[in-house]
Amino acid sequence: MHIGIPKESLPGEARVAITPDIARKLIGKGFKLSLEAGAGLAAGYHDDDYESVGVALVDRAAALSADIVTKVRKPSQDEIAAMKEGALYIGHIETCEDDGTLKAMFERDIRPLAMERIPRISRAQSMDALSSQSNIAGYRAVIEAAARYGRFFPLMMTSAGSAKPARVVILGVGVAGLQAIATARRLGADVYAYDIRPETREQIESLGAKPIDLDIGEEGSGEGGYARELSDEAKARQQELLADELAKAHVIITTALIPCRPAPVLVTEDVVRRMREGSVIVDLAAANGGNCPLTEADKVVQKHGVFLVGFTNYPSMMAGDASAFYAHNIANLLDIMVDKTDEGLVFKDFAEDEITAAALLTPEN
């Protein structure tokens, strides 16, 4: 069974789907691996690292013609056209927008396993790429904020005077938000956090942060551990009640997303005006319109004296570790997808496992 690993084609994407250590394990299990030469360089993995564990270095066409093609980001139309009919694709599909990707794949009988569709159940935790990459985003968001905030994060007491700790507010307490809380606390900040799901309160407190409690008239717990979209009335009340808490913040990190919906506006322009000059907002929802309407995707801008950070691919900024995490996700998924027989590796029936059944996209779903 042949796995092809092409170089990521999206501008600015530095990750690679399979790292050398995971390649060695997959080869040991009976897979044959081919890597497009140079595919791992941006993440710090050299061609020699792959060759030394038995990976064949090939051109782009050969990597895309394998039985299984694995990538980080969704395939382009050109990449789909280069895959062989009947191949299996494993990677993100990013299906919220119908841009013809799935149609092109189905026309060539390519079976897509979407990593973002891995269910959030205990059995699938080791395959959950959304969580592994969000963890990195939450960490990096705090580092970006600390680098741009012109004051100390922790309490500092010196012979020359003292500085109070930064007041950091985290909006959205999913995987990224929890990692942001933990990282900001490790840096010594005074951390507050808010989420519309009441069950997150205990998680916030367990990390040493203070929960922000708001009575907005409804709760936002949705399916699969995600937040659901609030009513217009609840959104308006949420903005109103949050405003005073946010205006006092020195750093705000927003992570609030609703799958396949525009990001909810949590930090209004009026709040930005009220914040102290030199404060920082890191908006992890920038790719979906932003939790602050002043955010500009993939830019750092200063408005009303406040820095707004709108990067949309934090895992790519830490491509080495992000690739390692993602490669483990892929390898763990492959473990439940194949059986080893006397004739070699064979695919199981994907419909019989709740994980692969959820991740497999078909014309019917």
Residues annotated catalytic, as ranges: 120, 125, 128, 131, 226
| Cα dihedral 118, 121, 123, 126 sign | positive
Rounded to an integer, what distance in angstroms lies between the CA atom of residue 13 and that of residue 329? 18
Cα–Cα distance for residue pair 238/215, rounded to 1 Å = 8
Half-sphere exposure of 135 (CA within 13 A, CB side): 11
Tokens describing residue 262? 């525009």
Q: What angle do CA 168, 170, 176 make, to 5 degrees?
A: 130
Q: What residues are paired with 283 via a beta bridge?
A: 254
* Neighbour count for residue 347 (Cβ, 10 Å): 14
Rg of the chain on CA atoms, in Å: 22
Token pair for 15 = 């990750």
Q: What are phi and psi of 191, to 5 degrees?
A: -110, 135
As given in the structure block, the two tokens for residue 154 are 């922790």
Cβ-based neighbour number of residue 2 at 10 Å: 16
